Structure 1
């Protein structure tokens, strides 16, 4: 017997119905990312628990690994028992864990609560990706994944905006933030429970069978995957973007801590600056993605965005320890997120197209290789960045991130694709 909240579709949704269900799936992704966000209150936690940045790095690294293990099990269980059967409990229980987080009064307590939250949340994250994929087969795997990333982007904006507006109302205490996050998450969970639906197993298998029929000759076997690894330009994509992602994930995890400790902003001000940068990034990726698709150009945007990011980052580093005002810092920070958006979406399209040109049936494997590389980098970042910043200051670690931008710029030279627009051939138009 299925739980009351499980609604299975026997006919594939179309038009507005499909768009709405896809939106609900992305909302579920937003919740899964929002309810475990800690970066907005990190500076306050460090002081209140008398915890060093290095200790926090260790706690985060272990909890991320725990979440990674859970993600694997969650995906397997969702294939067997259904997406929603697993997703809804993981979202609601993790949301409730925020109330448990508010009671933490020691580093040990924080460690166990974070491991518990990320273990539960890990399963939900993997299921939201599968659910988005279920409702967007015609968009293609890479575009569906890109749409799914609106969940983390929206979560980062929501968390920073709420913290920036409400921290002063509660004397900059972090415990009320955990309670607010729990309440908001549960309210959003109610919307998901009320509206979410999923294709039945039979419908999902039928849709996937239709897609796979177009690539019947390209089954995933070890030999073909090894063939994928023989192409240097795909390694340039994976390793180059992993280096680029050092800056992105540094800001995602430590942006508020950097703004507070290196620039002297309050936690509320730092969260408002972060929210501004994130929303500008979200708007930029839409505009640049549309322009890049219309011109069918990727590399010029990748290079221009990376150069812009590197220049603004270098200037950002020079401001550390100075007397730059709030508006000045906010403008520079927004510029960083704008240029990162210029580079990111065209790179996603370029990687997808380059992998597709090697073998259309192995695009998922290529994206999986990239995802694995980035997750390994995040664990290393959590361990190393906190050590470097604790000893030498955040400017030293941001120099490492700047080098990462340079490595990505060099790797872009190996990407396939044109540097300037030309009249597309009819067969290219059909393929795209």
Structure 2
């Protein structure tokens, strides 16, 4: 059966007006739609990738670390509130409007950073970016679920992480390469990436699509279920279930909060990684940005690999637990490094290992969370991912705002011990999730 995107589109207006995929996408169409989601996610997440220029931006704005932490934390909380308030809209009206609108506004906001001269200017731009991220994250995660059956979902979400992780890698890599050429002028990074984001937003606006509401209401475990799901969709209105089914689920809240606690060190690296390397190990800003880029590259690679393994085994919980144990052991070693001189080449290896282990813990969780949402009701993916977005941004915002208050009180070692507690709590939370530990489901695709 051929895949139909739209019926009788008339020119540009028709192409934009008819945005529903009526038949489940397969083959190159499925790949193309996932690629669009990934690049849209890169743009949406670039709003937060200030880390490589923070050592240069803070003196320019005359900001200290604590004030900067509160600004980043406060605007991050805004993202979570926006996601939670609009959560049910992602299911009711589809995902693409939020993605198209969000990527275009983000591109403009990235450009606007070059006009920032005061702390108030910075707060305004950060606020706009935070609102947009709160719109786009649940929309893109919902699209990944829509375009991937369960047997390919961990890999699909591994590709989705090219958004937040890829944006970090891109920001760190471009900064490490171009900052010396532009004599460490931080504004250069926003001219470069603003141009890239604008081009991507136009491509996304033209080609991104949604599944029809009735097709989104189906659970597809593998491609053998596609024909049956399409037949059921023809007799289904796609009516949305009550979001309270998700918002009132202890299991969903536990999984959402648990993974945020596990990723505290990831959020720290996102916001302050190059700054931490500069402050503690005395690397130059361009060196610190270059080292950080290897963390993100290794993280990306591990997310893809563990996604493939997790999909093959269909054992999300044990795959994620391997990452939990690995990160836990590594964190004690990471704490031991503080106060020691470490060469750039050696630090690249250490940060790469950290990135790999975090990817192993996080990748399978995304598929696990999506499947637990589907088991409640397949029409509530947007609401469920909005809940996670709320938990993520509120908790990450609070901890981000308090990071340097904590560091000033008990040092970086004390902060990393707090991260260790979060890792342990997530390991406990995994036991609340539905899904097998060691026995592969009988209906898993061979």
TM-score, shorter chain, exceeding 0.5: yes
Q: 1:384: how far off?
A: 1.4
Which residue number in structure 1 is paired with residue 260 of structure 2? Answer: 242
Distance in 2 separating the partners of 1:219 and 1:189: 29
Matched, 1:49 2:61: yes
Which residue number in structure 1 is paired with residue 347 of structure 2? Answer: 329
The answer to whether the 8 Å contact 2:151/2:312 transfers is: no
Distance in 1 separating the partners of 2:218 and 2:433: 31
Q: 1:337: how far off?
A: 1.0
Distance in 1 separating the partners of 2:132 and 2:315: 40
The answer to whether the 8 Å contact 1:3/1:85 transfers is: no
Q: Where in structure 2 are the equivalents of 1:18-167 lying within 5 Å? A: 18-71=30-83, 87-133=99-145, 135-136=147-148, 147-167=159-179
The answer to whether the 8 Å contact 1:389/1:397 transfers is: yes
Instruction: Give the one of 308, 311, 327 matched to 1:293.
Output: 311
Against the structure 1 CA distance between its residues 334 and 380, is the aligned structure 2 distance closer, same or farther, given a 3 Å change threshold? same
Q: 1:334: how far off?
A: 0.9
The answer to whether the 8 Å contact 2:218/2:378 transfers is: no
Identify which of structures 1 and 2 has the higher relative contact order when contacts are C-alpha pairs closer than 8 Å and 6+ apart.
Answer: 2
Which residue number in structure 1 is paired with residue 3 of structure 2? Answer: none
Which residue number in structure 2 is paired with residue 277 of structure 1? Answer: 295
Matched, 1:312 2:324: no
Unaligned segments of structure 2, at least 5 residues: 1-9, 220-228
Distance in 1 separating the partners of 2:281 and 2:263: 23
Q: 1:392: how far off?
A: 3.8
Distance in 2 separating the partners of 1:406 and 1:363: 29
Q: 1:336: how far off?
A: 0.8
Distance in 1 separating the partners of 2:84 and 2:248: 25
Q: 1:161: how far off?
A: 0.8
Distance in 2 separating the partners of 1:125 and 1:418: 28
The answer to whether the 8 Å contact 1:70/1:123 transfers is: yes
Against the structure 1 CA distance between its residues 369 and 131, is the aligned structure 2 distance closer, same or farther, given a 3 Å change threshold? closer
Q: Where in structure 2 are the equivalents of 1:211-230 lying within 5 Å? A: 220-221=241-242, 228-229=249-250
The answer to whether the 8 Å contact 1:281/1:340 transfers is: yes
What is the Cα-based RMSD across aligned positions, in Å? 3.8
1:222-265, CA deviations, whole angstroms, 9 ceiling, x for partnerless residues? 88558743x6xx66544432321212211122111111111111
The answer to whether the 8 Å contact 2:19/2:209 transfers is: yes
Q: 1:76: how far off?
A: 7.5
Distance in 1 separating the partners of 2:43 and 2:151: 23
Which residue number in structure 1 is paired with residue 424 of structure 2? Answer: 406
Q: 1:91: how far off?
A: 2.4
Q: What is the count of residue pairs matched by the alignment?
A: 420
1:300-349, CA deviations, whole angstroms, 9 ceiling, x for partnerless residues? 43333222212222212222232111112211111111111222223334
Query: Which range moved further: 143-152 or 258-267?
Result: 143-152
Distance in 2 separating the partners of 1:157 and 1:249: 14
Against the structure 1 CA distance between its residues 72 and 353, is the aligned structure 2 distance closer, same or farther, given a 3 Å change threshold? closer
Query: Which range moved further: 365-374 or 95-104?
Result: 365-374
SS in 1 for 2:340: coil
Q: 1:74: how far off?
A: 7.1
Q: 1:55: how far off?
A: 0.8
Matched, 1:205 2:205: no
1:347-400, CA deviations, whole angstroms, 9 ceiling, x for partnerless residues? 33444556666x455974665544432222112112211311244433321221
Which residue number in structure 2 is paired with residue 8 of structure 1? Answer: 18
Query: Which range moved further: 322-331 or 35-44?
Result: 35-44
Instruction: Give the one of 317, 321, 329 matched to 1:303.
Output: 321
The answer to whether the 8 Å contact 2:75/2:397 transfers is: no
Q: 1:163: how far off?
A: 0.8
Query: Which range moved further: 235-244 or 359-368?
Result: 359-368
SS in 2 for 1:334: helix
Against the structure 1 CA distance between its residues 146 and 168, is the aligned structure 2 distance closer, same or farther, given a 3 Å change threshold? same
TM-score, L = length of structure 1: 0.82
Distance in 2 separating the partners of 1:324 and 1:236: 38
Against the structure 1 CA distance between its residues 94 and 4, is the aligned structure 2 distance closer, same or farther, given a 3 Å change threshold? farther
Instruction: Give the one of 194, 207, 210 matched to 1:196.
Output: 207
SS in 1 for 2:444: helix
1:26-52, CA deviations, whole angstroms, 9 ceiling, x for partnerless residues? 211111112442112112112222211
Distance in 1 separating the partners of 2:367 and 2:129: 33
TM-score, L = length of structure 2: 0.79
Against the structure 1 CA distance between its residues 80 and 250, is the aligned structure 2 distance closer, same or farther, given a 3 Å change threshold? same
